[in-house]
């Protein structure tokens, strides 16, 4: 457990100061995926894809709701 924390701390220090949050998050996820079995990796990736799909559906719903209630934006 301590070795995981130490390697995680080192990976954060190795990141360039200008790297984005998304890149850091991707690295952390990939590092943790390497510790899992193949079945575990598939489950995690399926879960991540489901979260992405859900977020895209929410954004599309909100975009459509905005069009319904903001008629002036459409007509202009």
Q: What is the DSSP letter of 16?
A: -
Mean pLDDT of the chain, nearest integer: 76
Region 59-72: mean pLDDT is 77
Whether 31 contacts 11, CB under 8 Å = yes
Q: Percentage of the chain with pLDDT > 90?
A: 17
Q: Which residue has the higher pLDDT, 52 or 4?
A: 52
Give the span between the Cα atoms of 36 and 41, in whole angstroms.
6
Region 7-17: mean pLDDT is 53
Task: Express each pLDDT in 16-48 by its tens digit.
Answer: 545 689 899 889 888 888 888 888 888 888 998
């Amino acid at each position: 457990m301590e070795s995981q924390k130490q390697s995680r701390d080192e990976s954060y220090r190795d990141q360039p100061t200008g790297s984005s949050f998304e890149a850091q998050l991707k690295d952390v996820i990939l590092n943790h995926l390497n510790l899992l079995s193949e079945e575990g990796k598939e489950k995690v990736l399926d879960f991540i894809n489901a979260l992405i799909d859900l977020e895209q559906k929410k954004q599309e719903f909100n975009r459509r709701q905005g069009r319904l209630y903001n008629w002036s934006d459409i007509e202009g």
